[in-house]
A and B are shown apart, each in its own frame.
Chain A
Amino acid sequence: MNNSNRKILVCCGTGCLANNSFEVYTKLKEKLKDTKIAVQPLVKATGCNGLCEKGPVVKILPDDISYFKVSTKDVDAIVEKTILNGEIIDKLLYYDTNEKKKLISHKDATFYKHQQKISLRNIGEVDPLLIEDYLERDGYKALRKVLFEMTSEEIIDVIEASGLRGRGGAGFPTGSKWRTCYKYNNFPKYIVCNGDEGDPGAFMDRSIMEGDPNTVIEGMIICGYAIKSHKGYLYIRDEYELARKNMQIAIDNAKKHGYLGENIIGSNFDFDLEIVRGGGAFVCGESSALMASIEGNVGEPRAKYIRSVEKGLWNQPTILNNVETWANIPPIISNGAKWFKSIGIENNSGTKVFSLVGKVKNTGLVEVPMGTKLRELVFDIGGGIIKDRPFKAIQTGGPSGGCIPKEHLDISLDFDSLSNIGSMMGSGGVIVMDDTTCMVELARYYMEFLSEESCGKCTTCREGIKIMLEILTNITKGEGELEDIELLLDLSETISNASLCGLGKTAPNPVITTIKYFKDEYIDHIVNQKCNAGICKKLTSYYIEEEICIGCGLCAKKCPTNAITGIKKEPHIINADICVKCGACFTNCPTGAVKIGGVVVESKN
């Protein structure tokens, strides 16, 4: 076997690390050292490969073999069989649930086939700590191009023509943001990277910072050169320890190699970057609160009637973009606006990274062209719902977004289509829900989240969310009234109209959309005192349908409180007094004989 150009890439993203991928990486290195091979293959620890569900991931190049769910026990076999003898280890291959077969290369998997990677292009392929890896994949070429061949106007023209819109949530055109800031002759100007990803279930910015920090740095320097700024800040939430570490190493290495600091690669342009640790407040993802936090003040938003491109950080013109937006800048400069515009759909060019989580088979990080259909994301890439249960809804955009029911499964995933139906793109978090999700409880959950994470500055957001949470809690306890639904909508209107910042204005979205698309569930909770998903425990009871039960006894076996009794092959009975409503019988029954009832125990016995 020729090992001179062989590479073994071990995913060391957060998800895989949690499953001991670093141990796999070190053991692989040790094992290879002990093995007599003339030319040692290169072993690299990379960033996230996206399919976190099936981690740790080990890829062998150029053979293009991908192993999933690799543990330290598999290391010997990988070296002895695959590296030394070119044999493929069948049990470590990826099983594609859509194609119903095992695959040698991950690239053939339905999960990866539909994807197109721009901002994630290097992740999983490079060692994030080595600037050489980035340079090998055309890193800092775009920077060289702008520094020596382009003027500020030319750079801004390209970004504007590419149609890139801010990937942080609102989708504001990046080029026009840069142009406005460029026009102000007020110096110093600042560049800020928003790395305060806070939506529950979202981790795309984290993966980029961990897996390809140089692309963010390059994007920021390009913008700095375009608008004549010499200082940038990376605001990274404190919980993202690995992201901060990798980012700092990348900054230090970039300085050493002359890509940051004074006289960047001999161009006379100076630019410096500094990491600011965020305290982990959700509201600090809002641009003006984030800037207040960098300045050392309480992270409260301000009214943005004067935009931060005019008066931002320390009241100076500031460009703030999120991590994913920055990661798109170098490829756009290198490949041109036309190339970027050719991807995606009109007014929504390029790709978008989604973090696909919830009740979906393939959870992970996905980058698809804008305009991809939701159905494709959930059923092709995501592989459908776990245990093939019925799809109920997806939630996009985190607490500011909304729920999308199955009627809208064919919606195009882009900024405009999503906001048209009351949801929003947000940072790209997609939570998939099946029939065991209660939509009232979901709305309540988000209100609870926001009651802790709202900054509390303005009356409508702080007090409005508090009372909405109270009303929703009552409904989930079976103490709601029909008027409460109208009241919730009335309060939502006030909060979205009168709140100070974007977070407050969008805070009622989960409530508004669940009422819009799942009003029946609200009514069920209030009038019928029943939670069909079996989530609101006060409104749930389980019973066994006598005609369907085959008496297999699985439910009784799974019941943690021994509440189910019955003779083999005869219908079983649930004792409501002992039942703790955990739902184990419901999810485990092979014939669907276990039914969910309301507050009153429905039983024929």
Chain B
Amino acid sequence: MKVKINGKLYNGNTGETLMELAKRNNIYIPNLCHKKGFEGQGRCRLCIVEINDGGKTKIVSSCVYPIKDGIEVSTNSDKIIKIRKNIILLLLLRTPNNDTIKSLAKEYNVDIHYKYLDNKKKENCILCGLCVEACDKLGTKAISLVNRGTTKKVSTPYDDASKDCIGCAACVEVCPTDAISIDDKNGKRTIWNRTFNLVSCSICGKYFTTYEALKYTDDKLNIEKENQICNSCKRKEISKKFKESFKNTY
């Protein structure tokens, strides 16, 4: 399948989205709600591009648009830039103090001196939904998008401490705007209105996750582990083993 992006032809695979094709070919399309391993959602709207399909032009969101043979794509036409600027402005009005959004606004020369901008606003969440997707993929489903319209937010059922949350912080990991409040202090983690005891690494001693998260994955994989090792020590251990195996070969 041949797709022309910004004047150059690329080979696309059937079923691939425009965003995937662009990423594969190092063409930058700004986006906030798209992440590898997650299906496209089309929430943030930043990834809109203009396509020409047999003479008809339309604006599509590249993260969910399945490519078609022969289409011509423009990721940066004047029209797209103009609309994208407004989308960033809308995000900025929502989260005026967020660094990610502020730097996007700077990149696109969005006028920050705007009369409807409320600088005191502390909101950081842009409702990209990645945290919900992550929690869902993990199987815990502790958080979801609740309410609708302008009152939509990410939360646990009834804003209570969720009994399903395992404190794994996968949601924090995927958040593009650092909007999820997480507090790791004195061997305890507070997240989504609930406090968990943290587990320390049996090698380096650093706290790295919660008991609930470890138990959840162990149960899922049906294994029992004696020593709990953090990710960075795990990497070190693996590379050590790798090195030794090479030593024995040569």
Within 8 Å of chain A (Cβ to Cβ): is B179? Answer: no
Chain B hits for A298, CB < 8 A = 144-145
Chain A hits for B152, CB < 8 A = 455-457, 462
A466 to B94, CA, bound (A): 10
Chain A hits for B148, CB < 8 A = 281, 283, 299, 452-456
Chain B hits for A466, CB < 8 A = 150
Q: Which of the candidate stretches A399-407, A490-498, A593-601 sits at the interface with the other chain?
A: A490-498
Within 8 Å of chain B (Cβ to Cβ): is A467? Answer: yes
Within 8 Å of chain A (Cβ to Cβ): is B91? Answer: yes
Give the contacts of B82-96 with A (CB-CB under 8 A): 83, 86-87, 90-91, 93-94
Chain B hits for A498, CB < 8 A = 45, 48, 59, 83, 86-87
**11 A/B residue pairs, CB under 8 Å, sorted by A:** A298-B144, A303-B64, A305-B65, A305-B66, A456-B150, A456-B152, A457-B152, A471-B116, A494-B87, A498-B86, A500-B45
A456 to B148, CA, bound (A): 5
Give the contacts of B42-94 with A (CB-CB under 8 A): 42-46, 48, 59-61, 64-66, 79, 83, 86-87, 90-91, 93-94
Within 8 Å of chain B (Cβ to Cβ): is A464? Answer: yes
- Who on chain A is nearest to B58 by CB? A497
Within 8 Å of chain B (Cβ to Cβ): is A23? Answer: no
Option from B61, B86, B129, B150 in Cβ contact (under 8 Å) with A465: B150
A467 to B90, CA, bound (A): 8
Within 8 Å of chain B (Cβ to Cβ): is A470? Answer: yes
Chain A hits for B86, CB < 8 A = 460, 490-491, 494, 498
Within 8 Å of chain A (Cβ to Cβ): is B149? Answer: yes
Chain B hits for A539, CB < 8 A = none
Contact assessment for A450 and B149 in the assembled complex, using a CB-CB cutoff below 8 Å: yes
Contact assessment for B83 and A452 in the assembled complex, using a CB-CB cutoff below 8 Å: no
A498 to B65, CA, bound (A): 13
- Who on chain B is nearest to A469 by CB? B150
Pick from B43, B66, B86, B149 the residue with the most CB of A within 10 Å. Answer: B149
Give the contacts of B165-195 with A (CB-CB under 8 A): none
Within 8 Å of chain B (Cβ to Cβ): is A499? Answer: yes
Binary B-proximity of A269-292 (CB < 8 A = 1, otherwise 0): 000000000000101000000000
Known contacts being A498-B59, A498-B83, A498-B87, is A454 close to B149, with CB within 8 Å? yes
Chain B hits for A281, CB < 8 A = 148
Chain A hits for B109, CB < 8 A = none
Binding site for B on A (CB under 8 A): 281, 283, 298-300, 302-303, 305-306, 450-460, 462-467, 470-471, 490-491, 493-494, 497-500
Contact assessment for B83 and A494 in the assembled complex, using a CB-CB cutoff below 8 Å: yes
Binary A-proximity of B104-143 (CB < 8 A = 1, otherwise 0): 0000000000001000000000110100000000000000
Chain A hits for B42, CB < 8 A = 302-303, 457-458, 500
Chain A hits for B222, CB < 8 A = none
Within 8 Å of chain A (Cβ to Cβ): is B151? Answer: yes
Contact assessment for A463 and B61 in the assembled complex, using a CB-CB cutoff below 8 Å: no
Chain B residues bordering chain A, tally (CB within 8 A): 32
Contact assessment for A459 and B90 in the assembled complex, using a CB-CB cutoff below 8 Å: yes
A455 to B42, CA, bound (A): 13
The smallest beta-carbon distance between B139 and chain A, in angstroms, is 16
Within 8 Å of chain A (Cβ to Cβ): is B26? Answer: no
Contact assessment for A456 and B127 in the assembled complex, using a CB-CB cutoff below 8 Å: yes
Contact assessment for A497 and B59 in the assembled complex, using a CB-CB cutoff below 8 Å: yes
Contact assessment for B61 and A459 in the assembled complex, using a CB-CB cutoff below 8 Å: no
- Who on chain B is nearest to A303 by CB? B64
Within 8 Å of chain A (Cβ to Cβ): is B147? Answer: yes
The 9 A-B residue pairs whose C-beta atoms are closest, nearest first, are: A456-B152, A463-B90, A494-B86, A303-B64, A466-B150, A451-B150, A452-B149, A454-B149, A303-B42
Chain B hits for A302, CB < 8 A = 42, 64
A-B contact count (CB 8 A): 103
The smallest beta-carbon distance between A26 and chain B, in angstroms, is 41
Chain B hits for A459, CB < 8 A = 43-46, 87, 90-91, 126-127
Option from B44, B66, B79 in Cβ contact (under 8 Å) with A306: B66
Known contacts being A497-B83, A498-B83, is A456 close to B60, with CB within 8 Å? no
The smallest beta-carbon distance between B130 and chain A, in angstroms, is 13
Chain A hits for B116, CB < 8 A = 467, 470-471
A500 to B33, CA, bound (A): 14
- Who on chain A is nearest to B17 by CB? A305
The smallest beta-carbon distance between A78 and chain B, in angstroms, is 49
A493 to B144, CA, bound (A): 31
A454 to B150, CA, bound (A): 8
Known: A302-B64, A459-B46. 17 other contacts (CB 8 A): A298-B144, A455-B152, A456-B145, A456-B148, A457-B152, A459-B43, A459-B44, A459-B127, A462-B127, A463-B90, A490-B86, A493-B83, A494-B90, A497-B79, A498-B59, A498-B83, A499-B45
The smallest beta-carbon distance between B190 and chain A, in angstroms, is 27
Chain B hits for A303, CB < 8 A = 42, 60-61, 64-65
- Who on chain A is nearest to B86 by CB? A494
Contact assessment for A451 and B149 in the assembled complex, using a CB-CB cutoff below 8 Å: yes
Chain B hits for A465, CB < 8 A = 149-150
A298 to B41, CA, bound (A): 14
Chain A hits for B91, CB < 8 A = 459, 463
Contact assessment for A460 and B87 in the assembled complex, using a CB-CB cutoff below 8 Å: yes
A362 to B75, CA, bound (A): 53
Contact assessment for B87 and A452 in the assembled complex, using a CB-CB cutoff below 8 Å: no
Option from A456, A458, A493 in Cβ contact (under 8 Å) with B45: A458
- Who on chain B is nearest to A452 by CB? B149
Option from A305, A452, A457, A499 in Cβ contact (under 8 Å) with B150: A452
Chain A hits for B149, CB < 8 A = 450-456, 462, 465
Chain A hits for B151, CB < 8 A = 452, 456
A452 to B145, CA, bound (A): 15
- Who on chain B is nearest to A470 by CB? B116
Contact assessment for B94 and A463 in the assembled complex, using a CB-CB cutoff below 8 Å: yes
A452 to B148, CA, bound (A): 7
Chain A hits for B65, CB < 8 A = 303, 305
A464 to B149, CA, bound (A): 11
Chain A hits for B129, CB < 8 A = 457
Chain A hits for B79, CB < 8 A = 497
Chain B hits for A500, CB < 8 A = 42-43, 45, 61
A100 to B58, CA, bound (A): 54
Binary A-proximity of B189-212 (CB < 8 A = 1, otherwise 0): 000000000000000000000000
Chain A hits for B93, CB < 8 A = 463, 467
The smallest beta-carbon distance between B114 and chain A, in angstroms, is 10
A464 to B94, CA, bound (A): 10
Chain B hits for A457, CB < 8 A = 42-43, 127, 129, 145, 152
Contact assessment for A305 and B64 in the assembled complex, using a CB-CB cutoff below 8 Å: yes
